[in-house]
Amino acid sequence: MEPACEERLVRSSLGRTRDSSRLLERGDGLTVMALAEGGACLAFEPGAGRAGSRCAVHRVLGHDALPSACRHFPRAAVTDDIGTFVTLSHFCPTAAGMLFRDDVELSIVEAPASFGSVTEYEGFDARGALPPLLAPGMLMDLEGHHAWERHVVRLFADRRHTPELALERLRVQAAQLCSWRPVDGPLRARIESLGEAASSGAFNHCSERSAPTGCGLGAAVGAAVERGGHEQASAQLARLYEMVRASVPLGLEPEPLPGDFADTDAELVAPAWRSFPVPISRYLAARAFASWISWQAPGVVTAVAALWAARAVLRVEAGRQCRAAGRILDGALLVQAIRQADLLLVHKASSQALADRLVAMEQGR
């Protein structure tokens, strides 16, 4: 918490009535908001009936009085020369729960009126930078990059696809897209044609033998999932999880892969996994949109591989939650798994380190 925010809170009526010494935790020269026994911020005010939940600091002192972390969380943003693009960290329990809503379709939307007062976004600042790579040695243009993001989100929104089929289609389409050259016409048009082919049901698998360089990671995982070979799929999931875990800076390491992961996955996760295609697809779409890895990776193939890695982390965390609760995966456990997955993927792992490790895996190093 910034010193000015701390001073304002301590001097406020909120600090006096709630005892600022309980609201704040101080140590090693830092001040943070204190947490209740269940892990919620002590300033959190749960809603009752039709009244929504709210933050006491925001209610009493306004948005500008919030610490920087609170002003931005759970937003994760990328700003480029076209604009600012925002996704959410689903470590926020409200954001995680929104993935299960059935009253709204998954889509990219313009900022609502409630965002009108938000003028600052901490995140990846790509203004003035070269656009993301389509493939090694070939840049995209910004219009093409955002067309690809829209395509990915639309594919995950299509309820005819399981999350795994959507990932497999993206893996093949990303590999095919790598052959594009400027003489072929606008990249945006090529990407939009991928969506038209998907809508018409036209879809060609590429084999490991014919796939361009970099196609191997998604193909290996996808093939294991499609064949239903649980042992092979579990090995791939474990490998991807450990890769993400190895991308976390020293001192922030998450828990290692559970020793009984494969058995837990088969017993408690796999029987119910296919019951949650919508929240899982939406979660993966959120990891694809406004993604830092898209700017840090050497192409769209690696960006798709990062989505396979996100799925792996979610599956591992689902197993961890199921084992702790002693029951088969359900909605409540999946919410907690989603939260822990984003704690690792968004808040702990270095996206650049993960991109580098994915490239090394694709190249067999």
253 within 8 A of 41, measured Cβ to Cβ: no
Task: Note the pLDDT of residue 200.
Answer: 53
Task: Note the pLDDT of residue 365.
Answer: 66
**CB burial of residue 170 (10 Å; 0-12, 13-18, 19+):** buried
C-alpha–C-alpha distance, residues 302 and 195, integer Å: 20
pLDDT in tens, 296-310: 999 999 999 999 999
Task: Note the pLDDT of residue 192.
Answer: 94
> Tokens 């019951």 map to which residue?
275
User: Mean pLDDT for each 10-residue chunk of the chain (365 residues)?
Assistant: 89 79 82 81 80 84 85 90 94 93 92 65 91 97 97 96 95 94 96 74 42 46 52 86 93 86 95 97 98 96 96 97 97 97 96 94 77
Task: Note the pLDDT of residue 226.
Answer: 47
Question: What backbone phi and psi angles, to 5 degrees, belong to 186?
Answer: -60, 135
215 within 8 A of 179, measured Cβ to Cβ: no
> Rounded mean pLDDT of the chain?
87
Task: Note the pLDDT of residue 126.
Answer: 96
Task: Note the pLDDT of residue 21.
Answer: 72
Task: Note the pLDDT of residue 214.
Answer: 42
Task: Note the pLDDT of residue 241.
Answer: 95
Task: Note the pLDDT of residue 206.
Answer: 41
Tokens of 176: 């095919």
Task: Note the pLDDT of residue 362.
Answer: 80
Task: Note the pLDDT of residue 167.
Answer: 96
Task: Note the pLDDT of residue 185.
Answer: 96
Task: Note the pLDDT of residue 190.
Answer: 96
